[in-house]
Chains A and B, each alone.
Chain A
Amino acid sequence: MYKVIEKRVLSENVAKLIIENKRIAKNRKAGQFVIIKMGEIGERIPLTIADADPEKGTITIIVQKVGTSSHKLFNLNAGDHISDLVGPLGQPTKVENVGTVIAAGGGVGVAPLYPIAKAFKEAGNKLITILAARTKDLIILENEMKEFADEFMIMTDDGSYGKKGLITAGIEEVIKREKVDMVICLGPAIMMKFIALLTKKYNIHTIASLNTIMVDGTGMCGACRVTVGGKTKFVCVDGPEFNAHEVDFDGMLKRLNAYKKEEETSYSKYLKDLK
C-alpha cells in the first residue's frame, strides 16, 4: 500500500498527487513512468513521474481525468492509499547538451514534460518552453515551467490566454526566428503528429513521448506496440520516447481508440455508482 501524502487540484480535471514510495523516488530518472492499480477491481494505468523527492521518499504524479481509472485517481485525497504502484518503467530520457531546445507540451502532456524540460535546462541547453491547451483553464504547471525556461510561451486554441492558435504555430514562429537544434513534444497523439510533420519540414530532430494503452508495462503483453521506422516497438520498454519523425501516429491514434465503447460503458457506470 502506498500513501498519498498530498493532493492539489490544478484545474477542473487535473490534480497533482504526492505519493510515498522511497525506492521509486530514489531510482527514477526523467522520462520514466509508473503503473498504478487501485484495489481489486482496478485496471493498471501508466502515469509519468512528474517529479520526485529522494530525501522525503515521494514521487509526484499529475493526472487528468478522462475515464474511470484516472477519475478514481483524481478523487483520492491525502491519507488515502494506492494498492499497487510499480516502477520506474521505460527508458529514461537521453539528456544531452545540443544547443537550443523547444519543449512543447499540450494539455496534461505538460506534466511529463516538466522533468524532461528541467533536465535539458540543467544540461546547459537554451530552453524555449511552449505550453498549449484548448482554453485558459486547462493550462497547468505554468509557474513551475516558467521558472527555469529561458523563454516561455502559451498558446490557446480560443485565444483566452497567451497567443491564439495551435502549438505548431508557436513552434514555427521560433523556428523561423532562430536556429533550433531539437524539439521535444508531449501531449495528445494528434498534436504530436502535427508537430512531427512541421519539424520534419525543417529537418529538426524531434522526440515524442508516446502514451499508448498499456496493461503490464513490463514488455509482456504487446498492448502498447506502435510502428516506428517500419518496425514494431513496445512503448513500455523501448520507449516511451521515440524519434517523432519515424512514429506511425495514425496507427497509434487508432489503437488508442480500441476500447472506446467499453471505456464509455465503464465510465458511465462509474459516474452512476459515484452518486
Chain B
Amino acid sequence: MSVDYEALKKDRAQEWRGNLRKSMPAKERTQIERVKMPENEPLKRNKNFNEVNNGLSEKQAIIEAKRCLDCPTPTCISGCPVNIDIPGFIKQIEKGDFLESAKILKDTNALPAVCGRVCPQENQCELKCIYNKMKKPSVAIGHLERFASDYERNTGKVSIPEVLKSNNIKIAVIGSGPSGLTFAGEMCKLGYEVTIFEALHEFGGVLVYGIPEFRLPKKIVKAEINSLEKMGVKFVKNFIVGRSAGLDELKDQGFKGFFIGSGAGLPRFMNVPGENLVNIYSSNEYLTRVNLMKAYKFPEYDTPIIRAKRVAVIGGGNTAMDSVRTAKRLGADRAMIIYRRSEEEMPARIEEVHHAKEEGIEFLILTNPVEYIGDTEDKVKQIKVQKMELGEPDESGRRRPKPIPGSEYTIDIDIVIVGIGTSPNPLIPQTIKGLDVTRWGTLVVNEETLQTSIPNIFAGGDIVRGGATVILAMGDGKKAAESAHKYLINK
C-alpha cells in the first residue's frame, strides 16, 4: 500500500490545521512529557480479569495530541501497515472533535479500538515518529487511537460507513478473524453481498479466543461486529468450511468470490518426552478455555480449568505472555516464563513483558525444557530444563540458542502451558483442491493481489503469513478486497 501524500498535504493545508499548528510553537510541544497510560495497580489487577489499561481522559488525550507536530512529511504513517492518516486523526483530538477523529480512523481501519490496544506500536507507527530522531519518546499514537474510538463507542454515536447499492454478487469469507472482518467490511462498502462463515460459536478469531479480556475486552470486539452487521454483512457461526459444507456447495449456492482468513490455529508442541502428561496444555487450549469458554468463571460457567499454584509457560511471544498472566490471575503463586533465548529476542510486545514483570511473573531466560516428569497419576510434577547460551545468528537474525551440556536441573510444577507458536490448520488446503501451499502449510498468494492459485479465491492474515499481527491481517483483508473487486468487475 502506498501513502497518498498529495491528499494528506491538502488536508494539512486546511485553515484550521494551520491555526492549530500556530497556536503553540513546536519547541513548546516537544517540551511536553509523553502521557502515561493510567493502569490498574499491578498487585491488584493480577487477581482479576478487568482491563489493565484504563484509557486516557479527555484532558490527557488533548495534551498528548498537542505533542504531535503535524509534520509536513509524517514519517509515522509509513510505519503503520494500513497507513492511517495519523496527524489527521490526532489533530482532530487536539481540536476537541473526537467523533471526527474516530471517523478518520474508521476510514482506513475497521477496528481502531482493537488496534489501539494490541498493535505493537513501538515497532510500527511510533517507531517512525519524528520524536525518535530527537531522542524523545514518540507521540503515543496507539493510546490516542484507542481514546478516539472508545470515545465514539461510549457515546453511542458510532458512524456506520456508507455502503453502495447491492450489486447482488455473493461473496463468502472463511473465518471471522481480523483479516476476514476487514475484507468483509470493505467488500460490503463496495456493494457486495458478504457472508462470513465461522467455525466457532463466536466471531472474532484470536481476538475472542486468544487475546485475554484484561488486554482486549470482548465487548469491544462485539461492538465492531455489530457495526459490520449493521452495514449488511451476514454472519454464520458453527460452520466449518470443508466440513459443514465444501467450497463446491457454496459455489452452488451462488457464491462467486472467496476470501480465506482461517488463521494459524494449530498448536505446536515440542515433542519433548512426557508432553502428553495430564495438566500440560497448549496455549490455545488454555486461553480458549479461559477466554472463549469463560472458564475463569467456573463453576458458574460449565467449562473447567485447572487452577494451579505453580505454572510454567514455555515460549516468549504474546501467546506465552497472555498465558502466564492468565495463570497468575487464576491464582498461581509462581507463574513463570521459560524461554530459550534472552529477553531481547522475545517476540512479545515490550508493554506486555513490562506488565508481566510488574504483575510478579518470573522470567527464566536462556532455559529450555527437555523432559516432563509425571506422578503416579501421570500428572506433570516437574520439568527438567537445560540452560542455553547464545551462539551465531540464524536466518531470522536472532542469535541461535545452544544447550550448555550438564546444565540440567528440575523445577517443581503443577501445570505447564506450551506457547511456542501455531501453524495453519490444514483443513482448508486439504479440502480445497488446487490451492498451492508452502512447506510450512501457509497458502501461496500473489504478493500484490493476495490471489491464491485459484483465481476467485483470495487469502490473507495468518493463513498466509504464519503467526503475524492483527494489523497485518487487517491490511491483507483490505488489499485482498481491492484486488477481489478488480477481479470480479472485470469478469
- Residues of A at the B interface (CB closer than 8 Å) are 23-24, 27, 37, 41-44, 68-69, 83-89, 215-216, 218-223, 225-227, 232, 237, 248, 250-251, 254-255, 257-259, 262-263, 265-266, 269
Contact status of A232 and B378, CB under 8 A, knowing A215-B289, A266-B298: no
Closest to A259 in B: B304
Give complex CA distance A87, B300 in Å.
27
Interface residues of B in 291-315 (CB under 8 A from A): 293-294, 298-306
Cα A115 to Cα B201 in complex, Å, equals: 27
**A218-B245 in contact (CB<8A):** no
Shortest beta-carbon contacts, A-B, top 6 = A262-B304, A221-B285, A254-B378, A86-B238, A43-B302, A222-B282
B298 engages A258 (CB within 8 Å): no
- The DSSP consensus for interface residues of chain B is loop
Question: B78 at interface (Cβ–Cβ under 8 A)?
Answer: no
Contact yes or no, B238 A221, CB < 8 A: no
- Whether B425 pairs with A218 at a CB distance below 8 angstroms is yes
B211-245 vs A: 1/0 string, CB under 8 Å?
00000000000000000000000000111100111
CB atoms of B303 and A43 under 8 A apart: yes
Chain B residues contacting A43 (CB-CB under 8 Å) are 293, 301-303
- Whether B306 lies near A86 (C-beta < 8 A) is no
CB of B228, distance to nearest CB on chain A (Å): 21
| The residue from B267, B278, B284 contacting A258, defined by CB atoms under 8 A apart | B278
| B427 interfacial contact with A, CB 8 Å | yes
Assess the A23–B245 pair: CB atoms within 8 A: yes
Q: Is B200 an interface residue (CB 8 A)?
A: yes
Q: Indicate if the CB atoms of A44 and B293 lie closer than 8 Å.
A: yes
B266 interface residue (CB < 8 Å to A)? yes
Interface status of B16 (Cβ within 8 A of chain A): no
Q: For B300, list chain A residues within 8 Å (CB).
A: 41
Query: Does B377 belong to the interface (CB within 8 Å)?
Result: yes
Residue pair B304, A219 in contact (C-beta under 8 Å): no
Set of chain A residues within 8 Å of B35, measured between Cβ atoms: none
Do B427 and A222 have beta carbons less than 8 Å apart?
Answer: no
Given A221-B284, A257-B377, A42-B244 contact (CB < 8 Å) = no
Q: List 5 A-B contacts (CB under 8 A).
A: A84-B201, A215-B288, A222-B285, A254-B377, A254-B379
- B residues less than 8 Å from A86 (CB atoms): 199, 201, 238-240, 244
Complex CA gap A183/B123 in Å reads: 58
In Å, the complex CA distance between A221 and B293 comes to 13
Bound CA span A84–B198, Å:
12
In the complex the two chains form, is A259's CB within 8 Å of B425's CB? no
CB distance from A213 to the nearest CB of B (A): 10
Q: Taking the complex as formed, is B275 at the interface, i.e. its CB lies under 8 A from any CB of chain A?
A: yes
CB of B269 within 8 Å of the partner chain: yes
Most chain A Cβ neighbours within 10 Å, of B239, B267, B299, B300: B299
Separation of A255 and B374 alpha carbons in the complex (Å): 12
Q: Give chain B's interface residue range (CB within 8 Å of chain A).
A: 35 or more
B265 within 8 A of A: yes
A226 touches B276 (CB 8 A): yes
Q: In the complex, which residue of chain A has the Cβ closest to the Cβ of B198?
A: A86
With a cutoff of 8 Å between Cβ atoms, the chain A residues found around residue B306 in the complex are 258-259, 262
Contact indicator A251/B378 (Cβ below 8 Å): yes
Chain B residues with CB below 8 A from A251, complex form: 276, 378
Mark contacts of B299-333 with chain A using CB atoms, 8 A cut-off: 1 yes-contact digit, 0 otherwise: 11111111000000000000000000000000000
Rounded to whole angstroms, the CA-CA distance of A201 and B188 in the bound complex is 63
Q: Which residues of A contact B245 (CB under 8 A)?
A: 23, 27
Chain A: minimal CB distance from B463 (Å):
13
Contacts of A27 in B (CB 8 A): 243-245
Q: Which residues of A contact B378 (CB under 8 A)?
A: 250-251, 254-255
Tell me if B279 is interfacial: C-beta within 8 Å of chain A: yes
In the complex, residue of chain B having the shortest beta-carbon distance to the beta carbon of A68: B302
Q: Is the CB of A225 within 8 A of B427?
A: no
Question: How far is B379's CA from A219's CA once the two chains are assembled, in angstroms?
Answer: 23
Other A-B pairs, 13, CB within 8 Å; known A262-B299, A266-B298: A41-B294, A43-B303, A83-B201, A84-B237, A87-B244, A221-B284, A222-B267, A232-B269, A251-B276, A257-B278, A257-B377, A259-B306, A262-B304
Q: Quick check: is B23 within 8 A (CB to CB) of the other chain?
A: no
Q: Does B271 contact A (CB under 8 A)?
A: yes
> In the complex, which residue of chain A has the Cβ closest to the Cβ of B305?
A262
Judging by beta carbons under 8 Å apart, are A254 and B278 in contact? Answer: yes
In contact, B282 and A221 (Cβ under 8 angstroms): yes
User: Could you tell me the distance between the alpha carbons of A144 and B467 in the complex, rounded to whole angstroms?
Assistant: 49
Q: Are A221 and B267 in contact (CB under 8 A)?
A: yes
B238 near A219 with CB under 8 A, answer no
Inter-chain contact B243/A89, CB cutoff 8 Å: yes
Closest-CB distance, B439 to chain A (whole angstroms): 19
